[in-house]
Amino acid sequence: MRRVRRPIKQEINLPAPHINQVQVIASGERYRLVVCGRRWGKTVVGQIEIANAALDGKACWWVAPTYNMAEHVWRELKSASRDLPVTVSERLRRLDFPGGGWIAIKSAHTPDNLRGAGLDFVVLDEAAFMEPAIWPQIIRPMLLDKQGHALFLSSPHGKNWFWENFTRATTTPNWDRFQYTSYDNPLIDPAELDAIRLSTPDRIWQEEYMARFTDDSGQVFRGLAEATTAPLHAQPSGQRCVFGVDWGRENDYTAIVVMDAVTRHVLAYDHFNQVSWSLQRGRLRALYDRWQPSVIYAESNSIGAPNIEALQQEGLPIRPFATTAASKPALIEALALAIERREIALIPGQTLIDELANYRMERLPAGGYRYAAPSGLHDDLVIALALAYHATRYATPSISFA
Ligand SMILES: Nc1ncnc2c1ncn2[C@@H]1O[C@H](COP(=O)(O)OP(=O)(O)OP(=O)(O)O)[C@@H](O)[C@H]1O
Ligand SMILES: [Mg+2]
């Protein structure tokens, strides 16, 4: 009996490029800048190109802004080449292809690792998040001897060096540029993006999904003056108030924001520091007696939990909110959206408005934002306001609207 031999599968396991990825691949320019919205397929198009270059005998680098992102691509490229007779070096994070081509994965976080021989091709993934010197001082010289090519893939990150190169690309020989929104990935359902838009502050939407370069000031809350329309000294009747509380630590303030759950007007705020925890709880209790909130949301991290427990035992309707890397951006972005859309009204008062105006966000290379006050400034009222707004949305108290 003749044994039938299955042919050995020898191909790279990557998807076929979508229609807009084909446009990028089809450009033969030496340096290509591709700025796209989230999930457009930047990393996939980079992987398709680098794998084809390595199969073609080229010496290639993949450069990522952080160690974790480099690790992620390393795992994906190993998996994509599993049916090929490649040699894998874990130590060098390098794949050697039959025919002499190779791919090494590098992290731009440690520029000392970015040394080596001449390159034919380099992919810089999320390039805008790399230090400005990486391209001109480290990568560009490595392309000299072999007249190597570079593919820059990124979402926008303010008007930094990447934006400058993008602006110049149309008039500079050997450069080409592309700009795509997240809608330009035909594999994404546009209705999904429409839904994200509804729940995303405009600045984030423009940058992350529409791939527009915005000013780099990082201001989180926009339209503050327009949102400052709540009357001073309002005193609603019935249990329709809610509180947001941020506990002070060391030199920080404890902040309390009182909001009307029906009109979503800020009614009052208070902040104080350097008093004992029992005095701080007493002050909260006094505000409780005055406003009779139906629910109080308070940060439960560190010192929050025992304070909340003590107040619960006194019978206050206080609930914990745990601030985490995931919950904080959602909390802050909901507040930013509410201010932008005038869904809440602020009262005049320099401390609250200043804290909101100074609050900053920093885009992270892997996506998402980190939120904080600039060093030396406070954000207690921002957090307390965000928690009060959260209370109006998520608490299901028995409010009497008498
Ligand atoms: N040509 C393609 N065929 C099939 N799926 C694709 C293709 N291009 C991208 N995808 C899929 O779309 C999603 C987004 O792709 P990818 O991670 O490359 O996008 P990205 O722009 O790098 O996203 P991020 O902004 O999150 O870094 C992934 O699930 C990926 O597998
Ligand atoms: Mg990516």
pLDDT at 358 over 90: yes
Q: Which atom of ligand 1 is nearest to the CA of 125?
A: 22
Distance CA 306, CA 91 (A): 48
Whether 193 and 257 share a structural domain: no
246: tokens are: 């941020």
For the chain, the maximum distance between any two Cα atoms, rounded to a whole number of angstroms, is: 96
- Which ligand places an atom closest to the C-alpha of 207? 1
Under 8 Å CB-to-CB from 255, ≥6 apart: which residues? 245, 246, 248, 269, 270, 271, 380, 381, 383, 384
- Which ligand places an atom closest to the C-alpha of 125? 2
183-187, 249-253, 276-280, 329-333: range with lowest mean pLDDT = 249-253
Whether 229 and 188 share a structural domain: no
Helix/strand/coil for 319: strand
Mean pLDDT of the chain: 91
Beta-bridge partners for 266: 259
- Report if residue 248 sits inside a domain: yes
Sheet harboring 266-272: ordered strands across?
Answer: 266-272, 254-260, 241-246, 295-299, 318-321
pLDDT at 154 over 60: yes
Whether 203 and 256 share a structural domain: no
pTM of the model: 0.84
Residue 367 beta carbon below 6 angstroms from any ligand 1 atom = yes
What is the band of 133 on the pLDDT scale with cuts at 50, 70, 90? very high
Residue 180 beta carbon below 6 angstroms from any ligand 1 atom = no
DSSP string, 229-292: -PPTT----SS-EEEEEE---TTPPEEEEEEETTT-BEEEEEEE-SS-HHHHHHHHHHHHHHH-
- Which ligand places an atom closest to the C-alpha of 180? 1
Whether 201 and 228 share a structural domain: no
Residue 65 C-alpha to ligand 2 middle, in angstroms? 11
Nearest residue (CA) to ligand 1, atom 29: 39
Alpha carbon separation from 379 to 3, 252, 279 (Å, rounded): 74, 9, 21
- What would the pLDDT profile of 3-36 be if each residue is shown by its tens digit? 556 555 568 899 999 999 999 999 989 999 999 9
Contact criterion met (CB below 8 Å) for 45 and 25: yes
Beta-bridge partners for 176: 32
Percent of the chain with pLDDT over 90: 75
- Determine whether 91 is exposed, middle or buried from the number of CB atoms within 10 Å of its CB (0-12, 13-18, 19+): exposed
Residue 120 C-alpha to ligand 1 middle, in angstroms? 25
Whether 70 and 180 share a structural domain: yes
Whether 64 and 193 share a structural domain: yes
- Report if residue 9 sits inside a domain: no
Q: Which atom of ligand 1 is nearest to the CA of 188?
A: 12
pLDDT at 348: 87
Whether 340 and 242 share a structural domain: yes
pLDDT at 8: 54
- Domain count within the chain: 2
pLDDT at 368: 85
- What CATH number is given to the structural domain containing 376? 3.30.420.240
Distance CA 233, CA 282 (A): 22
